Structure 1
Amino acid sequence: MAGNSDPLTPRAKLAVTAGKAVAAASRAAGRGSGSVIGGRVALKLDPDLLGRLAQNLDVVLVSATNGKTTTTRLIAEALRAAGPVVSNALGANMPAGITSALAGGSDAKFGVIEVDEKYLAGVARDTDPKCIALLNLSRDQLDRAAETRMLAENWREGLAGSKAVVVANCDDPLVVWAASSSPNVVWVAAGQMWKDDAWSCPSCGGVMQRPGDDWFCGECGFRRPTPTWALSGDHVLDPHGSAWPIHLQLPGRANKANAASSAAVAAVFGVPPQVALERMYQVQAVAGRYDVVQFQNRDLRLLLAKNPAGWLETFSLIDPPPAPVILSVNARGADGTDTSWLWDVDYTRLTGHPIFVIGDRKLDLAVRLEVANQHFQVCDNLDQAVQMCPPGRIEVIANYTAFQDLRRRVGN
C-alpha cells in the first residue's frame, strides 16, 4: 500500500506544515514535545487529516488500560523487520497526538498507533486499520473514565463489522465481550492478574465462574474462547504449537504478555514469531519506564503504575525485601483527580520493604498505607526520600504526572 502517489490535498499539506510549525514553536518555548498542540492545529485546518495520513499505511491500533505504550513499542520494533514504521512512541494517544505522529512519517509502510480507550472507535473509523490489538480493561481515572463495562460496550459497538484483524486477550472477559462483535478475531492467552473488574458477566450481569485459568458465565453461557496464541512461562506458543523463547530487557510477567500479543500482531503482517521476538529485545525502556538512573550516588529504577491493575503487576517485579521503595502519587488532570482507587491496591505486598512516600497526594497514600499496617515515612521530595533510604537499589513507583516530575528531577 505504501509508496502510492501523494495522497495529501493542498489543504492537508498546509495543515501538516502549520501543525509542525506550531509544534516546533512549543518545543522551543520549553512546553514539551508540541505533538498535541501541533495535531490540534492541523486538525482544525483539515478535519479529515488523520484519515488522509493513514490511507497509505498498514495501520495497527493498540488499546488497553495498561501496557499500551510498551506494546505499541514492541510491535513497532517487530514490524521494522518488514518496512519503515511511524508510531506515536511518546504516548500522545488521542486524535491530535496521533495525527501529529503520522504527519512525521511520510516514507513509512506501517503505522503503529497507541489509542486512548475512549477514542478507539473513532480512530478506527478514521484510519481503517488492518489490525487492532486489545489487551485489557480495568478501572482507571475514576473521575472521568466511563465505567469499564461501558467502555467494553463502546468498543463492541465501534468495532462491530470492522474489517480489521482483532488480536484480543481471551483471559479478560471485558476484552472478549468487546472483541466478540468482530468477524475476524485472533485470541491470545495473555493472562489476567487483576480480576476485580470482571466478576460479573458483561453479557448478562450474571456471576462469572473462574475455575483455574478458565472463566464462564453460569447463567448465559458466555465463556473464554479457545486461544490460538498463548503466553506459557518464558515462551510464546504459536498457532502451530511451536514454542518461541521470549528474551526481553523489560522486566515482569506483564511485559511477557505484551510480547505474546505483539508476536500475534506481527504474524498478521507476515513477520514470523522468531524474528518478531528477537527484535523486541532491542527495547530497553519505554518513555523512561524501567530505566535505571544514577541519582545522588544511588541506582533508582523508575516504574510507572497508574491504577490498581498496574500497581499489582509492578509489585510483582520489584526487588525482594529489604529493597527500599519510594511511592509517589499525584492527582492532577492527566492522572484523574479522584484518588479513591488507592483503596483498591493491595499494599500488604510491600510488607518488609522500607517505604518512603512523596508526591502531591502523599497524605492520601499515607492514610492508605497506615490502614494496610505498612511501615513508611512521608518525605518532602525525591531528594529527601533518597537520602533516607537504606543502601541498595531503590525501586521508585509513581503514577502518571508524578512519573514525569521524577524524570525531570533525575534528568532522564
Structure 2
Amino acid sequence: MSDPAAGPSEWRRGWSVVLGSAGMAGVGAGLYQNLSSLFMPGLQEVTGASRGAIGASAALGLLGALAAPFIGRLADRIGAVPVIVASALSLAVTHLWLSLLSGGLWQFQIAVALLAVSAPGMSALVYGRLVATRFDRHRGLALAFATSGLSLTTVLLPGLFGWIIATWGFRAGYELLAVLAVAIGIPAGLYASRQAGAIVRPARRQRSGKPPSWTNLLFWRIAGATMLINIGTVGMVTSLALIGVERGFGLPAAGLLLSAYGASQIAGRIVMGALIDRFAANRIAAAFGLASTAGFMGMQWGVDALPFMLAAVFVAGLLNGAEYDLVPFLVSRLFPIENYSEVFGRLYLFSLLSGGIGLAGFNLLHDWTGAYAAPLGVATVCMLLAATLLYTLPPLRPHAQLNPSVSS
C-alpha cells in the first residue's frame, strides 16, 4: 500500500490527479450511456427497430466488454498513458461511426462493441490506481471527486444535447461526443497521469503480488453486487427520459430526470466517499442500497408528479453513484495495488455485461408489457439483493488494507 503523507498534505499533492481524472471520466463512454435515451428516437427512426430490439442489440454488442480484464492487465504492465490515448481515440471513432448510421442493427451492434472496448481505458480501471497511489487517509473521498466528473457532465449536458438533437438531429449529438472525447478526455487523462507519474510505475517493474483467482469468494461477492446494481440502474437511466414521457411530462421536462440522476450520483459518490473513510464500508454501502431500493419503489408506485419523480430518481440513483466510488476503494484496499487495474478490469467486465442485461431487459419488458412498471419492479429487487451482498463484505477499518488472500 502507498504511504503518502496523511491529512491536508494528501490534497496538496494529489488534487491535480483528481482533477484530471474527473475530466477524463466526464467525457468517457459513460456519458453516452447516461444520455442514450435522448438518442433513442433517432435510432428507432434510422433502424426501424423497436426499443426492445435496439436494447437487445446493444446487449449483444457489449460482448466487447470481454476485453476489460486484458486492458486492465495492459495498464498494470505498460502504464496508463498508452491505454488512455488509445481508448479516447477509439471512443471518438465509435461516436463518429454512430453519427453515420444508415440503417441495420448490425451497424449499431458493432458500435456498441467498440464502445465496450473503449470504455475501460477512460474509467476507474485506469484513474482509480492513479488516485489510490496519491491518497490513503482520504482515498474514498478522493475517488468520489474523481468519479464525479461523469456525474457533473450528466447534470450539465442533457439540456445542451437535447437542444442539439432537436435542432440538428441525433447525428450532431454523436459528433459532439466524439469531439469531447478527444478535446477533453486525452488532455485530462494525460494531465492526471503526469501528475501521478512520480509514484506510479508499470507493474512489471514492481510485481510483488498476484491478482485473485477466479474462485476467490470475496471477488465474486463484489462482482455479484456490482452486477445487481448495474442491472437496475443502467436499465433505468437508459430509459429515464422515456419513463418521464410515459408519465406524461413531455420530453423537455423528462430530461430533468436525467439531471436529477446526475445530481444523485454526485451526492452518492461524495457522501459515500467521506463515510467509508471513517466507518465500516460494508455497512455504509448496505445503507445506500436500502435507500436506492426505496427510490425505485417510489418510481414504480409513486404519484405521477414531476417533483415526486425527481426526488424518487435522485434517491434511486444514490447507490449507482456510490458504487463507482466504492468498488475502486474496495479493490485498492482488499487486493495488491500493483494488480489494481487487472482486478478492476475483471469487475468492469461484469459491470458492462450486467449493464447490457439491464438495458436490454428494461426495453424488452417494456415491449412485452407496454409499460415500465415491470422493469422498475425487477430493478427494485436487484437493489435489495445488492444491499444484502454488500453487507456481507469484510468491515474494513478506515485506512486499513486487508490481507489480499482473504476469500470469505
Would you say same fold, with TM above 0.5?
no
Larger Rg: 1
Please give the range of the TM-score, normalised by the shorter of the 2 chains. Answer: under 0.3
Higher relative contact order (CA 8 A, sep 6+): 2
